[in-house]
Amino acid sequence: MQSPSQKAISGTTRALVTAVLCLLLSLPQSYCQELPAYQLYLLQPSLINPAIIGCTDCSEIKLLDRHQWIGAFKGAPKTQVLSAETSISSNDFRSHGLGLQVVNDANGAYKQLAANFGYAFHIALNRTGSLKLGFGLMATVYQSTYDERDFSRINDPIVTWGVEREIKPDVSTGVYLYSDQFFVGLSAVQLFSSNSYLNAYRGERGYFAYGGYNLPVSTPLSIQPGLTVKYLTNQLQSDLNARVTYREFYWIMLSYRHVWRDFPGQPNSLLIYAGLYYKNFSFAYGYDLGLTSMQKYGYGSHEFMVGYRFCTFRNPCPAYR
């Protein structure tokens, strides 16, 4: 027989599950451009699913920097993310996560600065608290800028050689089921589908499915295979990941990104990551090798990450291992 507190938890869980699943499953088919922060999710999973925020017992600050197609052409895309996340626990069976992310993305004349404010609620699904379910919401305010001041002085009535800006809000949501052994999540981003006159594709909805499993090989060594599937701009894309961790201090990861329907600027690629933890600091580097003819014109894409964690080293959230 359930105690009053257990009944309250189960009632809260049912209500939250119903609300979030209604948001996720009732959304119509949509077409969306590549999200600027998506490329960095392997180092910051909460960028694609706000329900991951607060799944650890730690507070953490991270700075991520990505430069695409270095040397290929002027104005190649680059993205920076500054994030701060923390967990607030009321007891062993429920907790709250709070997060702030500032995303700066530049792609030629088009630039976007976004502020993401995230909240997640985590609840245990068993008596030991080893299996948990998270629900997340992310509110976003972004400013888009289109700068034509460096355009060639050609006789084109569309070009104004000025700067145009717009500010719009948005919302994302997600669910996340996890334990020490596995994790799986589903999220929907840009729910408002607010039209942008600067970018015809910006603001339309997209979907992510994200999961993995922790497989201990020996005492110091573990492997985490994972799969991420996204649906954006009428395009299905998958990332097949394999991460090897040694003594919980050093790790290396390989990821194969495959586009199931060809889309300019989003080729298949092989990603190689390596990282280490030193005291409360974390460092990572990633190299994106595009598997197309465009690769010969540049030096690939590069990602850098540095973080600081306010807690003991062990990180119980499997998505971050």
Instruction: Enter the CATH code of domain 4-320.
Output: 2.40.160.40
**Strands (E) located in 125-249:** 132-147, 163-178, 182-189, 206-213, 215-216, 221-232, 235-246
CB 186 within 8 A of CB 175: yes
Mean pLDDT, the chain, rounded, equals 80
In this prediction, residue 145 carries a pLDDT of 85
**What are the domain boundaries of the chain?**
4-320
Q: What is the pTM of this model?
A: 0.81
How many CB atoms are closer than 10 A to CB 288? 22
What are the backbone dihedrals phi and psi of residue 225, each rounded to the nearest 5 degrees, phi first? -75, 150
| pLDDT classification of 234: cutoffs 50, 70, 90 | confident
Per-residue pLDDT averaged across 63-78, rounded? 81
In this prediction, residue 25 carries a pLDDT of 38
Q: What does the pLDDT look like over 91-109, one tens digit per residue?
A: 778 999 999 999 999 887 7
Q: What does the pLDDT look like over 177-213, one tens digit per residue?
A: 999 999 999 999 988 866 666 665 555 788 999 999 9
